[in-house]
Structure 1
Amino acid sequence: MSVHKIFNIDSPFFKEIGDMTRFTTRFFREITKPKQEYEEFINQCFWVGYKTLTLVGITGFIMGLVLTIQSRPTLVEFGAESMLPAMVSVSLIRELTPVITALICAGKIGSGMGAELGSMKVTEQIDAMEVSGTNPFKYLVVTRVMAATIMVPVLSSVANAISLFGGYLGVNLRGQVSWHLYWFQVFDALSFGDVVPSLAKTFFFGFAIGIVGCYKGFTSQKGTEGVGRSATTAVIVASLMVFIIDLIAVQITDLLGLT
């Protein structure tokens, strides 16, 4: 039996991987060419960043508050209630806030890009741009992917701060910790190996969300039904990519001794 039959290379799964790889390669090729669409890039940063800020902020606040409240009883049993700010800060900064923020962005930004570009594809607006001499890939895809790559880390950083503030309120619901003592314990518990890898992986989260959302929209087919399918699959694939990237990042930081 041949390798071709064993791995079933003609399957839709491998075809999808190949098409997305070519799409990503084209992105890196187009981003190095002049001229850049700076105005559209700023516009996409506004829609990706500012329009998602409220949702990310509320989620981060609730996450910090709930994690603190839920963790208190266990620490009280071991007489380690004083470790609550340190434990919450490390949990939030290392893992919870970046991943949850990326999942929110995958749901909002990824589906939005898939639906928007899918609508433009099925209504032949992208073809019209090519006829008019505009590079639709650079104008539509490069700007959106770059905006997602830059704004997801910004949103994650804001969510970190808000979630830690939520943790402060959670600590003081059934206890009494001063503002200065809480933040001293938070920053004393955090190290280089907590903050930098956490921030670095959010760039990859943003890039994956942008690429998947744009790819699904840019290759949408079968009319309005295809637009809905593009938006849905963009969320699913982007969320899966976030978990895969997070797993790889954890393994790398562990090998480098940063954990």
Structure 2
Amino acid sequence: MLKVFEEVGRATLLTLWSVYLLFKSPPRIRHFIKQITYLGAETTPVVFITSLFTGGVIALQTYGTFSRFNAEFLIGAVVALSMGRELAPVLTALMVTARVGSAMTAQIGTMRITEQIDALEVMGIDARSYLITPRIIAGTLGVPMLTVLSNIAGIIGGWFVAVKLFGVNEYLFWEKMKDLTELYDFLGGLYKAIFFGFIISSVSCYFGFYTKGGTEGVGRATTNSVVTSSMLVLISDYFLTAVIY
């Protein structure tokens, strides 16, 4: 238990210092742009394809039940609510964790074991401001933007399955979606995405920054980073849902 509290405390201090340095001595804007571009370029195709088929699966699963009650036109609302409130932010966060979070840990961990971080500190450069702050901001801003893309892709997938494959009335599909969903259903998902992005980038940078044990340690840190980030996303999702909705 003492080890757990020690790790949590060290991770919290590292994250708070990195956020503080954003205001005290902010890194150059190109560092932010580089990180957020990397996050988007690496994850956009994965998020789009995953969400597209997730929306299709929701429509596929609900059609069989709704058709018994002649309520197929409600599929659009179900897809929009499911994606906006829950699936889009969670799936996006898990994809970012697997694709970008692991890369963050590996990159910073490699710099640690090859003493590049020590070299930065010898040159008078704060490694937290240089390495961690841009990644935390990129994750906090990037995950919500990817969540918007996930919502759009999921709705397109649900529309294609419901309207094009099962012949659901397209006008009713869109009208019932507009009638039964509200803007806050999607805003709540974006609030979740902001928190998830902050958690993922903070955890990934922490495990990378304190990597030890050579190349084997980098692999171990990357695994621990992905597992911890995924668990925190799913656990915090419950509490965020209870608070937001």
TM-score range, shorter chain: over 0.9
Matched, 1:175 2:167: yes
1:164 maps to which of 135, 155, 178 = 155
Matched, 1:24 2:18: no
Equivalent residue runs for 1:1-259 within 5 Å: 8=1, 10=2, 12-172=3-163, 173-178=165-170, 180-254=171-245
The alignment partner of 2:137 has SS state of helix
Equivalent-residue separation in structure 2 for 1:224 and 1:157 (angstroms): 37
- The alpha-carbon deviation at position 221 of structure 1 amounts to 0.4
The alignment partner of 1:32 has SS state of helix
Equivalent-residue separation in structure 2 for 1:66 and 1:35 (angstroms): 44
Q: CA-atom RMSD, angstroms?
A: 1.4
Equivalent-residue separation in structure 2 for 1:45 and 1:61 (angstroms): 23
TM-score (norm 1): 0.90
- The alpha-carbon deviation at position 192 of structure 1 amounts to 3.4
Equivalent-residue separation in structure 2 for 1:133 and 1:253 (angstroms): 43
The amino acid of 2:166's aligned partner reads R
Equivalent-residue separation in structure 2 for 1:170 and 1:119 (angstroms): 45
**Cα contact 2:94–2:230 (8 A) shared by 1:** yes
More helix by share: 2
Q: Which runs of 5+ in 2 are unaligned?
A: none
**Cα contact 1:89–1:189 (8 A) shared by 2:** no
Pairs aligned (count): 244
Aligned-residue sequence identity (percent) comes to: 36
The amino acid of 2:23's aligned partner reads T
Residue deviations 1:215-256, cap 9 Å, x none?
A: 0000000111110011111111111111122111111124xx
- The alpha-carbon deviation at position 125 of structure 1 amounts to 0.5
The alignment partner of 1:213 has SS state of helix
Equivalent-residue separation in structure 2 for 1:125 and 1:213 (angstroms): 18
Residue deviations 1:122-159, cap 9 Å, x none?
A: 00001111112222111110001100110000001011
The amino acid of 2:167's aligned partner reads G
TM-score (norm 2): 0.95
Q: Which runs of 5+ in 1 are unaligned?
A: 1-7, 255-259
Aligned counterpart, 1:5: none
The amino acid of 1:177's aligned partner reads N
Equivalent-residue separation in structure 2 for 1:176 and 1:202 (angstroms): 32
